[in-house]
Every structure is written in C-alpha cells, then in structure tokens.
Structure 1
Amino acid sequence: MTLTLESAVALLNQHHLLREVIDGNVWTTDSAELPQRTFSDISYDTRKVSAETLLFCKGRFSPEYLQSANELGLSCYVAQEDFSEYTDATGIIVRNATQAMSLLSAAFYDFPQHDLTVIGITGTKGKTTTAYFTQAILNAYSGGKTALFSSVDNCLDGVHYEESDLTTPESMDLFRMMHQARSNGMTYLVMEVSSQAYKVDRVYGLHFDIGAFLNITPDHISSIEHPTFEDYLFCKRQIISNSSRMIIGADSQHLSLLREDAEREHVPVSTFALRDSTNDMQDADVVSVSNEHTRPAFGLYENGKDIGSFTLSIEGDFNEANAAAATALALSAGVPVDDPSLHAMESIRISGRMERFTSEDGVIAYVDYAHNYASIKALVDFVYQRYGSRHPRITLVTGSAGNKAIDRREGIVKAAQDRIARFIFTTEDTDTEPNSEICAQLMGYVTNPAVEAGVILDRTQAIEEAYRDAQAHADRLNVLLVTGKGEERWIKDLNRHVPFEGDSNIVARLFRKVAK
C-alpha cells in the first residue's frame, strides 16, 4: 500500500480538486517540479503520523494540531488552506479536503472496490435489516465471501462480526476495511449508505454496482445534519447517479423524482413492494405478499412468478418489505430465482432489532432501535396487528438523540400518543445537550390527556419501572416497547461513552428468560 506525491497530485488534478502544492518557496500544480516522495501510510489524526505519512486536515481542523505532527516528522499534508505558518511540511492545497481524502484513500488501498461487487443501501427505515438479509443471501450463495458494513456490525471475512461506530465509516476507514475484505477473499460487499455519507463526502468517488433506495420520510433535520427535508432527500438521491443499477421501493415518497434521476443517468431500475394479495402485484418487480391469514409466512414473487414461501426470525410486516428489497438486490447481483440461498435470510436475527421477550407472568416486550416517526409508528402498528384483538396496554420507553434530528422528538410522540397507555421518557445518546432538556421537550409534545407520561432519566430504572407498572396491571395484556438503544452497551452522555447494560440485557434479566 503506497501512494506517491506525483500520483496524488495527478489524481487530484484529474478530478479538478487541486489548487496548488506549496513546498517551501515553490508553488506549483506540476508534479515534475516536486521532490519524489512515497507515502507508506495515510492518516487524519495528527497523533498518528510519521515522515512517510500523508496527513489529511479535514473538518474543524485547528492548525495548532500540527505541532504534535511536526514533532513526529510530518512531511506532507492535504488541506483546504495553506498551513506554512505552522509547519515546514509540503502542503497539497485542495478545493475540498474530504473529497480529496476519499479519492486518495481509494488510491492508497489500490481501489479495492474494483475487485468487489459493491451493494449500497439507503433509506430512512430498514437499511440495517435489508443489509443483513442481503448479506445472508449472498454469503450463502458465494460460500461465505460477502462482507458487511452496517450501523450495528461490520463483517470483513463473511464470518466474524464486530460492533461498528458509524453507519457509513469515514472514507479512509471505509477503503481500509474494503481492502481488508478483499484480502480476506471477499467477492461481495453489502453496505449501508447514510445521507451524511453523501453530505460529508464519505463515499465521494465510490461507485456501486447495485444501489437500493428503500424509502424516504423526514429525519435527521437539524442545524448539524440536514437543514431541510429537501436537503436530506437530495443527499440520499445521490446514490442513484453513483450506481450502475437501482432497486427502489415502489411505495417510496417522491418515486417519480427518483425515477427521473435514474432515467437522466441511464440507470436501470427494479422495484420492490409489500402487498396483502397476489392480485395487487402489478406495480413492482419483486413483491412480498402476506396478510393476517398467512403470517408469519409470506410469499415472494418476481414479475408475478412464485419464488416460494418464507418465514423470518424477525417479526413485523415491514421486515417482509425488507426481505423483498434484499431479494431484489440478490437477484440483481446474479443469484438465480430458484437458488436455495434466498432462504438464508429466514434465520437472521439482529441484536436490538425487533427482539421479543416474554416474562413468566405474561408481559411481552419488544426491544428495537426505532427512533423516529416512521419507525415508532410501524412498531405500534405491528403491536396492534399482532395483539389488537387482546386490547393490549402499551408502554413506550424511549428518548431521543441530542444535538441532532430535532424533528424526531415531536414525531416520536405523534406516532404513539393516541394508541398507547404510557410514555416513559429517558436518556439516550447526546453530545452536549442535557438529556433532561430533551425529555422535557418530549413531554411538551404530549397533547393527549388520556396517555400517562413522565420522565425517568436513568434508563435502567425507566425499564424497570415499565415492568413493575405492567405487573401492576396484570388484568390486561401488557406490551413494553423499549426503543432507541437495542443491545448497545454504552450511552453517549455529554460527549462521554458511559457503560450501560443494554436494553436487551435489562429486559432479559427482568424477565428471567432469553429472547424468543
């Protein structure tokens, strides 16, 4: 893994990103005038450099950080401004440092995407589950040669899964992981692609063999994410022009706009959908069909042809829609319609995603990552679909992330308040915004006087109270919905990662029973 100053300058010139290179008194765009230099490492951390490291100065970079890099022998950096006042290192000055980092990271790791069939999945809801289903199918089909990058886990060898930090990693980490996956013999890569990945150029220059656009509803609207829904949708739409083929949800909002994007870029489109009858399949290419008479089994159809009957280990009809999306992706990737590997998704369980628990005294709990209007509404819809005839008493234990996606807070309350018995608002991840203020804002959105609502900031105590309260109302079926954290073993509180038992583990301990 090497990159030269000459090849870096040539690549940046090719993409019209180079402003100039500053090497002492020499200012130039001609690499022939520059000293020969080879980089054996790349970094965006000034504490991790050597004389052979190319350092990327991106984001809210302070030039004072260069002092430690100078002491470690820094010889070259990439930045959007000249830092000659702070370092004697050669400066590659570019129009956009994050775009430059993505392109040069791909080059440093010898363009690993060229040796992988890369599948990118975006959407407001269902990215993770669809990614897991798709990886399961392709992993079975390829004999264990499918990597996964998701918001829950990353898998670089088709076998071992490790907790991830970001939905879509920083570009340097992304290409490093792709390189490792290629070295491990992987031939497919399935990855989630967030709107922020396009907003901050984490996937700049990356082309997907197949892209998927599942759905779109307002989310991630805040001063530090997307200022408007239009911006959020625009960022997600970028996957279309960066894919060779697209899978799009037939019921997605703004479908006509998505189709216009694809037609303009000459990208062929296949669609998927969930329907309750085989008489209503004409508007989508791959369809899941299920209703109250067939569940938990559902049928899959491609262009009207029966693929077979399936039963998932994850509950919820929305996951049957995700199964249709995964099937469409797998078929587009070359899996035959009659291949048994399509059934590999049936056994998939994802920690913290629609995990069902039943206590010895009959209380039912679902732990899920639901965190916005669409996902909370789908979760409550599912409870009524599954248990509505038993008139369930539903308690929702939830919070909302701090410093971002402010619109989620009203949406969470709006999605549930007319159909549940009680809210317990509690702590969730935040950077600097106090959880007490977030919970107070959530309380302020509760307008239905018939629903009980309160705040218990300690998340463990909040879940424990929900269970005690359910036991006190044993004359009815009690369903606890614990959302937002899943199995994560930490809570980000005021920029610190505080150890946490995990929602799934707390419920399992209280119920004295494993999930089933």
Structure 2
Amino acid sequence: MKLTTLLEKIDYKAFEGNTGNEADISNVEIKSVVNNSKKIEEGCFFMCIKGANFDGHSVAAQAAEQKAAAILVQDDVTLPEDCKMPVIRVEDTRYAMAFVSAAWFGNPAQSLKTIGITGTKGKTTTTYLIKSMLENAGHKVGLIGTIEVVIGDKHIPAKNTTPESYDLQEYMRQMVDEGCDSLVMEVSSQALMQHRSQGFVYDLGIFTNIEPDHIGPDEHKDFDDYMHCKGLLFKQCKVGIANADDEHMEQVLEGHTCKLETFGFSDKADIKAVNLAYIRKPGQLGVFFDTEGLIELHAEVRTPGKFSVYNALCAIAVARHFGCTDEEIAEALKNAKVKGRIEMVKVSDDFTLMIDYAHNAMALKSLLSTLKDYRPNRLVCLFGCGGNRSKLRRYEMGEVSGKLADLTIITSDNPRFEEPLDIIHDIEIGMKKTDGKYVEIPDRKEAIAYAIDNAQKGDIIILAGKGHEDYQEIKGVKYPMDERDLIADIMKERM
C-alpha cells in the first residue's frame, strides 16, 4: 500500500531523515504497519508510540538500520547521519495511528453498524444484551469488551476493555470478513483519552452512568478529567443515547456533536421505564417493567434490581435503531446471560446463589443494596481482595459488606505476591467498623462450600469479585480456578 494512502486522513509533514528537508513520499510503498519494535522489518511503516514503560521514539535508529520504509513520530528522534528514510511528523502518534490502522485494514468500520458503550458501570452487561437482541433479529454481531472479543465462533480473551487502535481495526477487519454486519463494544475512558477508538465515527454512542473511578497517577487526574474523557465518545458518534437520570449527564455530554436520545425513569427520558415489579422465584431473581415514549413494550429481565432495568433500557434504545420488533426485544431480554455479571447458579430451590464481578466498594454497595430490596432471609456476601493493590479498597469493601450483609465470608481472591491472610486481615479492619457478622476462610473453595452448606431457606448468597475470571493469581502464576467448576465439584461431593 502507498504511504500516502495511509496518511490521507491525518495532518503531517514529511522529512528526509534528520536533514529537515521535505521528503517526496509519493512513491513509498509500505509492506507492513507496526508499532512494536520487535516486529520492525524491511519495508514497514514503524509508528513510534509513547507508552507507560517504553517510548517507541527511542528505537528510531533501529528502524532505519532494519530498513523500515518510513517512521511516524511526534518528537525529535536520533537517526544515522546518512539516513534518507522518510520521517512522518504528526502532533500525536497515538491519534495518527488510529487513522493509519483504519486505512491499512481497509476502513472496516464503514462496513459495520458500530455501537460504542461508555460509563462507569453496566458496559459489559449491556454489550451482551445488545448482542443477544440484535442476533435474535437476524444480525451477525461482533463484540469487543472486558471479558472477550467475539468474532463469529471465535472467542479471544481480552487484554484491555478497549484494545489498541491497530488491534481494534484488525478485529473489525476480521468481523467484516466473517460476515458480521454490526459491532458492539465497550469504550473505556482510558481508550478515549489515548485515541484507541479513533479512526472512524460510531453509528451509536451510549452513556450508561458515571461515578468517580479510575482516578490516579496512571489514569485520570480528577473526576472532571474522567468525565471529559468519557464525553469524547459523543464527539465521535452520529447518535448518542444517554441515561437521563444520571446527575452528571449534561456535564459528560457537554460539547457533543451528535443527535441525542435518553432513557431512564425520569419523565424527561425519551424511553421511560414504568410499572417496575420485582420477580423472586426459587433460585431466580429479576424484574418486570413497561416502557413508554419512543417505544412501548413489556419486558422481563432475569437479573435483579433497578440497574438491570437501566441496562435493559439502553439495549432497547439501541434495538429500536435496528428495527427490532417488540417480540424480538422481549425474548432477548428474557434469555440474555453474561458470564460473571449477576450470574445465577442454580443449586437449590431453597436459596439463591449468584456470581458477580463486584470488586470494589462502589460496585459491592450497589449490588448488595439492590439484593436487600428482594427481602432475603439473610444476605450472605463472600469476597476477597486482590494483592498488590490499594489497602483502602480492602477497608472500604469490608465496611460495605459489614453494613449491608447479614453474614460476610472473607476469603482469598488473587493474592498475587501478598499473603492471603494479610489481605484478609486488612478486610477485617473495615469489617470491625461495623456490627456485621463474619467468618474468615482463606481457601476459596472451602469458603464457597461453607456458604452452601450453611445456607438457610430464603437466603441470597453472592460470590463477589471473581466474576468471569477463570484463574487465581498466586506468586506470578495464574492457576485454573472457575467458581462455576468449584460449585459443581462441591455439589458432586455432597451427592
């Protein structure tokens, strides 16, 4: 491919090596596009990206020596004196990489209806709801998110919620080649900040909700920055669909360039939920509700609480743009399941057992508060905390569970390079600020067995923190451990 074709949609200046002279790049052919120094090869276009631990600009000379056809830079680089390799200078190589990657893979987004979902909570569940709904209506849908990338029958474990722009474009190319007509994906604030999802315009952009999160030295400097980055999606989509009930909605959407629709319980919402009723059956929790406004239907969702309604409303709003019928939408909502997100595991008609990824105080508080609305005999919360992470999270989660759960079972999560008992004792500090009852069982299988063996009629038991994860990380090694398998093993042992 011609270098000029790759650069069509970005502003740049082309120089000849270190000379400062303008380079003629009209006939430069590119054999590959790379951003990994280990993949530099003759004829490639090497994009110098500044990462947290490595700056691609530092290997510009290596690229020249290995006969790269050209390099992409935003900073000055050191090259051999006689180097004539074209140096493409841009303001931001990450931003440029998104457009170069899109061009390299033939702009696959143009062949897909693209849906991007951003927000603090609900992104993962909503992507699967939308995928289920659209497939119910005959669409072939690719998915990119926290758990995995789904392309046809292929499931690829995810490294990041939103992949690097080059990988994203490659995935989209594969989806088009596989016959997908749509893509639904999670778009993280980090990805928006780093331009990972640039290079195309989303057909639909979704805002679920926002609360302070991902604020720190390597993430966002403050809540305002976090909201600003979330809002970037609404300058990169044709239609925005937002949660009308979120108090920060207007701030997040400030400066948007898209058409707007809203959902929620508020009278001002374009799609409004009414007649909410909770469902409680043996081993199952859920909600009924009706919608008014842009679409009117009756819905049943087999996960509990008000936040399940928000996720469903969001999916309904999207399905409307695809012409899905009321029957297709209702059927998809009733049957959609997401691994590790309020995932019911049936073991008894006497009590309810579920798995959820809630791994910080905010998520745990939201989940436990919702479950209390179902008036369980007891609310039992089993969780641990990850090692080599903030101790504050441990104190906070201990305090939340102590206040809201009738019994807390403190166990191990991913201890990493810490001792499990040290982490458990940190959680206990938070627990002791409350009057909550608790037990400590470091082995997670034993802890789950204790929860099942001591369950009472009408209990709701939540296994929190691991969710979709199928491993436990100890001393740098990831050992297989899936809570569904642990439960199955425990039940076999009880037979």
TM-score bin, normalised by smaller chain: 0.7 to 0.9
Give secondary structure in 2 for the equivalent of 1:394. Answer: strand
Task: Answer yes or no: is the 8 Å Cα contact 1:358–1:511 preserved in 2.
Answer: no
Alignment-derived partner of residue 70 in structure 2: 76
Report how far residue 294 of structure 1 moved. Answer: 5.9
Alignment-derived partner of residue 426 in structure 1: 412
From 10, 13, 30, the equivalent of 1:12 is: 10
How well do the aligned residues superpose, as a CA RMSD in angstroms? Answer: 3.4
Q: Which amino acid counterpart does residue 113 of structure 1 have in structure 2? A: A
From 464, 474, 482, the equivalent of 1:502 is: 482
Alignment-derived partner of residue 260 in structure 2: 269
Task: Answer yes or no: is the 8 Å Cα contact 1:307–1:337 preserved in 2.
Answer: no
Q: Does 1:396 align with 2:396?
A: no
Q: Does 1:37 align with 2:28?
A: yes
Q: Does 1:468 align with 2:450?
A: yes
Alignment-derived partner of residue 149 in structure 1: 144
Farther off after superposition, 360-369 or 200-209: 360-369
Paired residues for 1:382-461 under 5 Å:
382-388=370-376, 390=377, 392-400=378-386, 402=388, 408-409=393-394, 411-420=396-405, 421-428=407-414, 441-452=426-437, 461=443
- Consecutive unaligned residues of structure 1, counting only runs of 5 or more, are 276-280
Q: Which amino acid counterpart does residue 300 of structure 1 have in structure 2? A: D
Q: Give distance in 2, aligned partners of 1:44 and 1:148.
A: 24
Q: Which amino acid counterpart does residue 408 of structure 2 have in structure 1? A: R
Q: Give distance in 2, aligned partners of 1:234 and 1:429.
A: 34
Alignment-derived partner of residue 61 in structure 1: 54
Deviations 1:310-349 (A, max 9, x none): 3334444422221111001121x23155463552232111
CA separation of 1:24 and 1:435: change in aligned 2, threshold 3 A: farther
Task: Answer yes or no: is the 8 Å Cα contact 1:220–1:407 preserved in 2.
Answer: no
CA separation of 1:329 and 1:50: change in aligned 2, threshold 3 A: same
- Consecutive unaligned residues of structure 2, counting only runs of 5 or more, are 281-285
The normalised TM-score by structure 1 is 0.82
Task: Answer yes or no: is the 8 Å Cα contact 2:134–2:324 preserved in 1.
Answer: no
From 221, 245, 253, the equivalent of 1:251 is: 245
Q: Does 1:24 align with 2:17?
A: yes
From 129, 133, 139, the equivalent of 1:137 is: 133
Q: Which amino acid counterpart does residue 40 of structure 1 have in structure 2? A: K
Alignment-derived partner of residue 290 in structure 2: 300
Give secondary structure in 2 for the equivalent of 1:282. Answer: coil
Q: Which amino acid counterpart does residue 498 of structure 1 have in structure 2? A: K
From 298, 305, 322, the equivalent of 2:311 is: 322
Q: Give distance in 2, aligned partners of 1:436 and 1:294.
A: 39
Q: Which amino acid counterpart does residue 310 of structure 2 have in structure 1? A: A
Q: Give distance in 1, aligned partners of 2:310 and 2:106.
A: 37
Deviations 1:345-366 (A, max 9, x none): 3211122121223446956431
Q: Which amino acid counterpart does residue 89 of structure 2 have in structure 1? A: I
Paired residues for 1:305-384 under 5 Å:
306-308=296-298, 310-331=299-320, 333-336=321-324, 338=326, 340-359=328-347, 364-384=352-372
Report how far residue 8 of structure 1 moved. Answer: 3.9
Task: Answer yes or no: is the 8 Å Cα contact 1:64–1:86 preserved in 2.
Answer: no
Q: Give distance in 1, aligned partners of 2:373 and 2:103.
A: 51
From 36, 40, 43, the equivalent of 1:49 is: 40
Using the aligned pairs only, state the percent identity.
25
Alignment-derived partner of residue 278 in structure 1: none
Q: Which amino acid counterpart does residue 446 of structure 1 have in structure 2? A: M
Task: Answer yes or no: is the 8 Å Cα contact 2:381–2:401 preserved in 1.
Answer: no
Q: Give distance in 2, aligned partners of 1:37 and 1:249.
A: 48
The normalised TM-score by structure 2 is 0.85
Alignment-derived partner of residue 283 in structure 2: none
Farther off after superposition, 356-365 or 42-51: 356-365
Alignment-derived partner of residue 268 in structure 2: 283
Task: Answer yes or no: is the 8 Å Cα contact 2:272–2:291 preserved in 1.
Answer: yes
Alignment-derived partner of residue 124 in structure 2: 128
Alignment-derived partner of residue 483 in structure 1: 464
Farther off after superposition, 282-291 or 333-342: 333-342
Report how far residue 307 of structure 1 moved. Answer: 1.4
